[in-house]
Structure 1
């Protein structure tokens, strides 16, 4: 499973589309209010500034892609 962290921005949306088109339909989108990009996307609401929620969000994934800036 490909997990996109911070999945509501333009980069994450384009990435989810390209992953589905060329690689896999096994995609998890993680953000506070995730929205499907592809019909097969798995949504996982989480606050990525919370270590426990982030750990739960990435559990079971094979690759994690961070698409938001951390300050």
Structure 2
């Protein structure tokens, strides 16, 4: 898994799950991994995460797709 392309994703609701984030980004390619760091004291999401794709093309499609969606 060392050749995966990792994208940092910010500013999503703290209630977002890894499954929801994976579903959201799977329209751009196969999500190989999704990680949402948790606050150690509360166990709640920290409001950012990482989505990993198997190719640069998929990661680029996600970046372009999110830019279109945000504005």
More helix by share: 2
Shared fold, TM over 0.5: no
TM-score by length of 1: 0.30
The structure that has the greater radius of gyration is 2
TM-score by length of 2: 0.30
